[in-house]
Structure formats: C-alpha cells, structure tokens
Amino acid sequence: MKKTAAIFALAAVLGAAGAASAAHKASLPKGYEKWEKSKARVITDRKSLFYGIHYIYVDRKAMKSYQAGGVYPEGSRFVAVNYTIKDAGGKPVQGKKNMIVLMKKDKKQKETGGWQFAGFSPDGKPSGLDPAKDCFGCHLKDAKDTDFVISKYADFK
C-alpha cells in the first residue's frame, strides 16, 4: 500500500513539473513587434510591480475579443514589453528594455486559468518567471471577469 501511495505521489509531482516546464518552454512569437501596439503606459510608482514604461502588443486572434470584451479564442496572444524610466529634465522617458512577458490562451494551462504566461529577458531568453506566482495571482485578482486580461482596449489607443 505504501509503495502504491508513493507511486501516485511521484506521478503527481512529475505531472505538476511537466505542466510547469511546459509553461517555461514558451518562446516569443516571431514578428510580435508588427502586431497592434498600445500607447505607452507610464507607471511612476516605484512600489508598483509595473514600475516603468510598457507597451502591449495584441495579435489578430485576440483583437476582436479585446475590443468587444468576452472570452478569448484559443491561441490568442499578448506580449508586454517593459522599459525602465529615465529622467529627462523632470519628465519620465523610456529607458532600457528590462522585461518581456507573453500571455497566450492555452486551455491546457489549468493552473493559470487557461493562459500560458512566460517571462523573457530583454534579449528574449526565458527569465524563469513563475507563471502561477508571478503572473496569475494578479490576473486572478484584477481580471477574473475579463477572461484574466488586465488591460483594456480603451487604454490601448
């Protein structure tokens, strides 16, 4: 009986590890810079997780739901690119790129509400971001009623 329980426990751990590693195997979509791009969003509160200047890129598949609201189709993608803030005579201006985040609708990602989250360094290499802890917690808290998408199209243009 103990052996059977140990096998089930190992299978559960390996299954969870497999799901987590699948999230980390994401890659940045080629050509995302050509998708529709938001206006700059400037967050000057240094205590904010989103401190800096960032842009959101939205692919065609996601755009209809983004504009109208509702549930996003499988495969919808968002890419957020964050930059540091430089001071130019008391005015915040875009500094160096410091983070890129992918959000892709993927029904297999049960732990994160059917979305794959992946973080990347400025050069596009995986950053080791924890999708459940570092991303989904805020999306769950702030965007449960909008299919976990925090940004709004009204803020886009």
| pLDDT at res. 3 | 40
According to DSSP, the residues that pair with 42 across neighbouring strands are 53
| pLDDT at res. 5 | 36
**Considering the chain, what is the average pLDDT of its residues?**
85
Q: Residue 18 is part of which domain span?
A: 2-155
How many structural domains are present in the chain? 1
Cα within 13 Å of Cα(64), Cβ side? 7
Scanning the structure block, which residue is given the tokens 């985040």? 101
| pTM for the full predicted model | 0.81
101 close to 112: Cβ distance less than 8 angstroms: no
Kindly report the CATH number assigned to the domain that includes residue 123: 3.50.70.20
Provide DSSP, 48-96. Answer: STT-EEEEEEE-HHHHHHHHH-SPPPTT-EEEEEEEEEEEETTEEEEEE
pLDDT > 60? residue 52? yes
